[in-house]
Amino acid sequence: MGQSFKDLIVWQRSIQLTVSVYKLTAKFPDAERFGLTNQLRRASVSIASNIAEGYGKSSKGEYLLFLGHARGSCAEVETQMVIARELEFGTNQDIANPASLCDEVGKMLVSLMKSLRSAKPLNPLCLFLLPIA
């Protein structure tokens, strides 16, 4: 793992997704400011936030839990994008970029979670067997 959650490509893409969602929802009708606009923005922010928060936790189980929350928020954004498209709150072209990023982030989250689940825990005794430089 890198030095920071900021090194994770999935976190970087989720930030791009949030920016894209904010740009898209800026074009939504004013009547949706406290409806779909707010929901989409909050859910998209939640993805990157949960990745970061999970990264900062002290156990793999907690990290996986927060990645699961991020994955749920990603599914929420995907659903809300479908609703926005059906309500014609943007052209297909307007919605294409955030929808594509959402799909990409969702797949990356699944891969990261699989990787963490299959990683063998480090045996603390191994630390004593490492050569001293």
pLDDT tens digits for range 99-121: 999 999 999 999 999 999 997 76
Residue 128: is its pLDDT beyond 70? no
Would you state the pLDDT for residue 119? 78
3-state secondary structure at position 57 = coil
DSSP state of 70: H
Largest interatomic CA distance in the chain: 65
- The H helix count followed by the E strand count for the chain is 4, 0
What superfamily in CATH does domain 5-129 come from? 23S rRNA-intervening sequence (1.20.1440.60)
Between 90 and 17, the higher pLDDT residue: 17
* Average of per-residue pLDDT values in the chain: 89
Report the length, in residues, of the chain.
133
Q: Which residues contact 81 (CB under 8 A, 6 or more apart)?
A: 40, 95, 98, 99, 102
Domain boundaries, the chain: 5-129
Q: What are the contacts of 57-63 at 24+ separation with CB within 8 A? A: 60/116, 60/119, 60/121, 63/116
